[in-house]
């Protein structure tokens, strides 16, 4: 993904040019294309005019022209006049191998102190200011035609009303703008959609501090901590990981969720209450539905939080016949970021079921319709595709057995109307 050069990178370019490094060497260190460095120097260098001899024409030593500027009262020859640079049709700037070729500046030139030509110097601070002003100016105006803007407005505004994320809309349509540009147009009131239509933009709340956890490890977490998980995954990097969590409703029912890290596939199952018995019963029923072979392939590693409903690790890891079916690990207390894929999927669930919603009127069929829409959203985290298109053979078999299907990108709806 393209990123603007930072001030630190520009400082490195200036320092390297002062040390006579080539553009190729600078580009290799910064891991940038050579054309990017060359364009940066030429666009943001500072010009320093030669103050004593302002005529920069290559023909000035042999030139005998007069009145090139049209002033016939002037008695001087044009080769001693600074107006020659602009007025004479035969003007040719004196070439310079350092200034006019790579590196396009005079930073490391050994002759700059006695050179009588106009010079260019690359300086990081002015270059940063120039680049920032140019970027600001380019964003101050709409860079697309009226026809393109009308199409953008119709497409984006209509699909935002369905709850589709901006990234999903752009990835599934041919619109000539970036994600940040769409957000800027919405904030500026250029589009019919408004910030109030973007759940994530208006739903942020102020974070409050939490009590620091003690260093004591409870018995159920021994050999199952997040550090143990990282050590296990370092030895087994190709194993599929399922992040398990609970989405709570205001009534009795809750949702038990599983997010598979590689594909971001989300599975969710209604459970009657928030107890260990309900969680274990749902896991047993899932294993029965998809079969032991698929379950053990997909759920080799399960990462979850420290909720009381997940603390009976033995009944989760082993079947009723004492056969091991998965390996369970726990995140650190108050560290939900350690299972970030799961938490991200929960934000999508909350678009259908906001906090405080009662799940008691739901059935598994409605939950499955919700899952079909969520798993059809195109995301950056899934190689700019939908989770349904990133499934392994094992997860494809599970999706087929559960009856989940992909929704066309145009028809994806992230709104509670899907559950009615």
- By C-alpha distance, which of 105, 134, 86, 87 is closest to 46? 105
Contact between 25 and 135 under an 8 Å Cβ cutoff? The reply is: no
Average pLDDT over every residue of 32-48: 91
Which stretches within 189-334 are classed as H helix?
199-202, 226-235, 276-290, 292-298, 313-317
The count of residues in the chain is: 420
Q: Which ranges of 161-198 would DSSP assign to H, the alpha helix? A: 166-171, 179-187
- Would you state the pLDDT for residue 1? 41
Q: Which of 144, 171, 148 lies closest to 159 in space, CA to CA? A: 171
> How many other C-beta atoms can be found within 10 angstroms of the C-beta atom of residue 133?
10
The mean pLDDT of 341-354, rounded to a whole number, is 93
Ranges 50-59, 71-80, 121-130, 289-298: which has the least confidence? 50-59
Q: Which helix (H) or strand (E) holds 248?
A: strand 241-248
What pLDDT band is residue 291 in, cutting at 50, 70 and 90?
A: very high
Kind and range of the H or E run holding 259: strand 254-260
Q: What is the pLDDT of residue 110?
A: 86
Average the pLDDT over 127-142 and give the result. Answer: 83
Check residue 207 and give its pLDDT: 59
pLDDT at 52: 57
Q: Using CA atoms, how far apart are residues 171 and 180, in angstroms rounded to an integer?
A: 13
* DSSP 8-state class, residue 45: -
Q: What is the model's pLDDT at position 194?
A: 87
User: Distance between CA 184 and CA 177 in Å, rounded?
Assistant: 11
pLDDT digit string (tens) for 206-245? 556 565 566 677 888 899 999 999 999 999 998 999 999 9
Q: What does DSSP say about strands 119-121 and 301-304: parallel, antiparallel, or unpaired? A: unpaired
The DSSP-derived string for 111-144 is TTTT--S-EEE--HHHHHHHHHHHHHHHHSS--S
**Using CA atoms, how far apart are residues 84 and 329, in angstroms rounded to an integer?**
79
The pLDDT of 154-175, averaged and rounded, is 89
Q: What is the pLDDT of residue 321?
A: 84
Condensed to tens digits (0 to 9), the pLDDT of residues 308-334 reads 999 999 999 998 888 999 999 999 988
Residue that is written with structure tokens 């024409």 in the block: 57
Of 134-148, 304-318, 384-398, the range with the lowest mean pLDDT is 134-148
User: What value does the mean pLDDT take over residues 278-304?
Assistant: 94
Q: Which pLDDT score is estimated for 36?
A: 92
Q: Which residue has the higher pLDDT, 51 or 95?
A: 95
Count CB atoms within 10 A of the CB of residue 289: 13
* Span 190-200, average pLDDT: 83
More confident site: 339 or 112: 339
Measure the CA–CA gap between 9 and 391, rounded to whole angstroms: 39
Classify the C-alpha dihedral 313-319-321-322 as positive or negative. Answer: negative
Task: Tell me the CB-side half-sphere exposure of residue 309, using CA atoms within 13 A.
Answer: 22
Given a cut of 80, is residue 3 above it in pLDDT? no
How deeply is 73 buried, as exposed, middle or buried, from its count of CB atoms within 10 A (0-12, 13-18, 19+)?
exposed
Contacts of 284 (CB under 8 A, 6+ apart): 319, 320
Q: Which strand (E) or helix (H) includes residue 157?
A: helix 146-160
Name the average pLDDT for the chain.
Answer: 87
In three state form, how does the secondary structure of 305-359 look? Answer: CCCHHHCCHHHHHECCCCCECCEEEECCCCCHHHHHHHHHHHHHHHHHCCCCCCC
The answer to which of 7-16, 111-120, 289-298 has the lowest mean pLDDT is 111-120
Q: How far apart are CA 354 and CA 352, in angstroms?
A: 6
Of 81 and 359, the structure prediction assigns the larger pLDDT to 359
What is the token pair recorded at 292?
Answer: 């032991």
pLDDT digits (tens, 9 = 90+) for 47-88: 887 665 566 676 777 777 777 777 777 777 776 776 666 667
* pLDDT range class, residue 339, cuts 50, 70, 90: very high
Radius of gyration of the chain (CA): 32
CA distances from 148 to 155, 192, 193 (A): 11, 15, 16
Global pTM?
0.69
> Is residue 13 over pLDDT 90?
yes
Q: Which residue has the higher pLDDT, 321 or 201?
A: 321
Confidence of residue 404 (pLDDT cuts 50, 70, 90): very high
Q: Which of 65-79, 246-260, 347-361 bottoms out in mean pLDDT, i.e. has the lowest?
A: 65-79
Residue-level pLDDT at 85: 65
């Amino acid at each position: 993904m393209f990123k603007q050069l930072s001030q630190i990178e520009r400082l490195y370019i200036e320092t390297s040019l002062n040390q006579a490094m080539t553009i190729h060497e600078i580009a290799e260190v910064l891991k940038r294309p050579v054309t990017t460095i060359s364009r940066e120097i030429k666009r943001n260098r500072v010009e320093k005019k030669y103050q004593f001899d302002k005529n920069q024409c290559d023909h000035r030593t042999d030139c005998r022209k007069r009145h090139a500027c049209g002033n016939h009262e002037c008695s001087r020859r044009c080769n001693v006049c600074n107006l020659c640079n602009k007025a004479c049709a035969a003007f040719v700037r004196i070439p310079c191998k350092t200034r006019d070729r790579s590196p396009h500046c005079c930073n490391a030139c050994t002759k700059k102190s006695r050179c009588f030509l106009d010079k260019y110097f690359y300086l990081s601070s002015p270059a940063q200011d120039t680049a920032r002003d140019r970027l600001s100016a380019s964003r101050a105006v709409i860079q697309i035609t009226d026809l393109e803007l009308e199409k953008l407005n119709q497409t984006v505004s209509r699909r935002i009303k369905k709850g589709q994320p901006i990234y999903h809309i752009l990835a599934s349509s041919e619109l000539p703008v970036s994600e940040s540009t769409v957000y800027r147009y919405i904030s500026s009131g250029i589009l019919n959609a408004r910030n109030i239509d973007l759940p994530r933009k208006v739903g942020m709340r102020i974070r409050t501090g939490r009590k620091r956890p003690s260093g004591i490890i409870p018995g159920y977490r021994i050999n199952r901590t997040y550090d143990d998980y990282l050590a296990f995954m370092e030895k087994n990097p190709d194993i599929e990981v399922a992040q398990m969590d609970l989405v709570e409703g205001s009534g009795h029912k809750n949702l038990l969720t599983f997010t598979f890290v590689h594909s971001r596939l989300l599975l969710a199952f209604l459970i009657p209450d928030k107890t260990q018995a309900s969680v274990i019963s749902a896991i047993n029923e899932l294993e029965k539905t998809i079969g032991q072979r698929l379950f053990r392939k997909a759920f080799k590693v399960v990462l979850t939080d420290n909720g009381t409903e997940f603390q009976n690790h033995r009944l989760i890891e082993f079947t009723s016949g004492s056969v091991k079916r998965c390996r369970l690990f726990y995140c650190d207390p108050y560290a939900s970021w350690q299972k970030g894929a799961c938490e991200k999927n929960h934000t999508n669930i909350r678009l259908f079921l906001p906090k405080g919603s009662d799940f008691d009127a739901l059935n598994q069929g409605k939950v499955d319709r919700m899952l079909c829409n969520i798993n059809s959203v195109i995301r950056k985290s899934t190689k700019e595709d939908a989770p349904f298109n990133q499934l392994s053979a094992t997860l494809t078999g599970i999706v087929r057995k559960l009856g989940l299907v992909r929704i066309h990108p145009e028809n994806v709806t992230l709104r509670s109307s899907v559950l009615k």
